[in-house]
Amino acid sequence: MAGESLGLSFKTKFAYGIAGIGDATFYTLIGTFLLFYLNTVVGINPAVAGTIAAVGAIWETLCGGIAGYLSDKTRTRFGRRKPFLLFAAFPLAVFTSLLFTTIDASQSFRVFYYALMLILFWTAYACFFVPYHAWGAELTGDYDERTVLRGYAYVFNTFGLAFGMVLPTIIVDFLMGLGAERSQGWQSVGILCGFIGFITILTGALLIKDKDEISFRQGNSLQIAGRKKIGNHGLDLSKVAAMLKEYKQVLKLKSTRYVIGASITYLIGYSIFCADRIYFFTFNMGLTAGEITVAMAILTFASVAFVPAVSIANKRHDKRTIYISGMSLCCLVMFSFRFIGFGSLFLFVIFVLAYSIGSICYWQLIPAMIYDVCEVDELVNNKKRAGVVISLQSLSESGSNALGLQITGLLLEFSGFDAESLTQTETALRWTANSFSMIPAIFMLISVLMILLYPVTKKNFNKVVLAIKQREAGYEADLSQFKKLI
């Protein structure tokens, strides 16, 4: 029933969070280091490396849409979402390892190889990411508990951020100190992060139990452990048309368009910030490998301190109000620091705290807002399809990541960045500074404007849930009172 909370146990929240370690490990490793790795280790120029990253992310957009649609239609003895996580975990580990393996080949073949590995990686990631996030919307329909669940996910995401953002520089620096080649260090990073992601996704998926696991229809199932015949899940033209029709229905909702618009614009800025920061720390600030590790760790863990505050604030205020306040502060400080600079540790701490407030506002609140759109869609279109709705977040992440990495690569190329030089021109340094502060802040500010228009407040959400329950009891829902949402 819409809006019904399962009264989530600590075990379920904990298990859901564990899978978030794998999510953040894979996503952060690619977002932070792929461009840098392809540029400075493999030797592909930044514009081409950015294009490779963009093509891979665009491919994930397509895969995410298909994964969301198919997971909605799937019925197995293990539920709708769990089989996708189990299926995707091992390929993710394999393709991550291969992606960070340096090959000795011609420039054209290297471009082909890394583009192919990235496409395979994003295919597996989409098969995990969309069902995983859709699962969160189905585990609880309570407005406040969804924010709490996302808080658990974010806390565990932080460990994934550490594995994907902090650990790589430690491993590479340590192995090079033992005499290993730089490329061998990065291959070890790929193998270790792949293993961590595989274990955590597998563990989380196996520990979570939900009501879908007892719903099994032989005519619409995936083959699980050879127990049942595979159902007809192929995407023929009629099913493609049906899938596109479902996405069109969801995108017609104002609630969907504004929250996805906010997600896209924030994530473009976030992708630029993540891809640029290792350049900024290395060349603008002149930090050593150890100092970069510390800076990355501070950026990673600072946001955790604000998780309880967001959960508590959500009990008194709407998610949109908290997001607008926190993200506006983040944007103001990030923009200002382009001109103030980072002349002291105190100033750097202020910057980190402001960035962390914006970060937790996005990662804890926006997914929960997208969860709430599921009920709006159910009321308007009378369909339960969390996979389709949540896959739009996958679309926003992959599309934004593609655009952000492409923008970063082009800025590096046109500013004259030289990967083989330890010092950079004033123009290159100016644009790496812009990409660390002012440019991300502009995109994040646009996301605030989008959320100003997002209409699902706590009051409106409760009205939606009540209307759905009344319809389930046999009363006709009056959609005229929900015009702002649709």
Give the domains, in start order, of the chain with CATH numbers. 10-210+237-472 (1.20.1250.20)
Average the pLDDT over each of 279-283, 387-391, 432-436 and give the range with the smallest value: 387-391
**Rounded (10°) CA dihedral 435, 437, 438, 444:** 100
Instruction: Give yes or no for a contact between 47 and 417, defined as CB atoms under 8 angstroms apart.
Output: no
For residue 236, pLDDT over 70 is answered with no
The reported pLDDT for the residue numbered 289 is: 79
> Residues of the chain with pLDDT > 70: what percent?
93
Q: What CA–CA distance (Å, rounded) separates 275 from 455?
A: 32
| Count of positions (residues) in the chain | 486
Q: What CA–CA distance (Å, rounded) separates 3 from 12?
A: 18
CA distances (Å), 323 to each of 173, 266, 358, 365, 369, in order?
Answer: 38, 12, 8, 7, 10
Instruction: Give yes or no for a contact between 174 and 180, defined as CB atoms under 8 angstroms apart.
Output: no
Looking at this protein, which amino acid is placed at residue 335? F
Q: Where does the pLDDT of residue 450 fall: very low under 50, low under 70, confident under 90, or very high at 90 and above? A: very high
Instruction: Give yes or no for a contact between 201 and 22, defined as CB atoms under 8 angstroms apart.
Output: yes
> Residues of the chain with pLDDT > 90: what percent?
43
In 10 A of CB 218, how many CB atoms?
A: 10
Calculate mean pLDDT across residues 1-27.
Answer: 81
Coil/strand/helix, residue 140: strand
Instruction: Give yes or no for a contact between 64 and 394, defined as CB atoms under 8 angstroms apart.
Output: yes
Predicted model pTM: 0.77
* pLDDT tens-place string over residues 335-358: 999 888 887 878 888 999 999 999
Q: What CA–CA distance (Å, rounded) separates 367 from 390?
A: 8
**Rounded (10°) CA dihedral 166, 325, 444, 341:** -60
Looking at this protein, which amino acid is placed at residue 340? I
> Higher model confidence: residue 226 or residue 147?
147
The reported pLDDT for the residue numbered 485 is: 77
Q: Where does the pLDDT of residue 8 fall: very low under 50, low under 70, confident under 90, or very high at 90 and above? A: confident
Query: For residue 319, how many C-alpha atoms fall within 13 Å in the half-sphere facing its CB?
Result: 32
The radius of gyration of the chain from alpha carbons, rounded to an integer in Å, stands at 22
Calculate mean pLDDT across residues 286-312.
Answer: 85
The reported pLDDT for the residue numbered 176 is: 92
For residue 327, pLDDT over 50 is answered with yes
Instruction: Give yes or no for a contact between 131 and 19, defined as CB atoms under 8 angstroms apart.
Output: no
Calculate mean pLDDT across residues 142-152.
Answer: 87
* pLDDT tens-place string over residues 164-177: 988 898 999 899 99
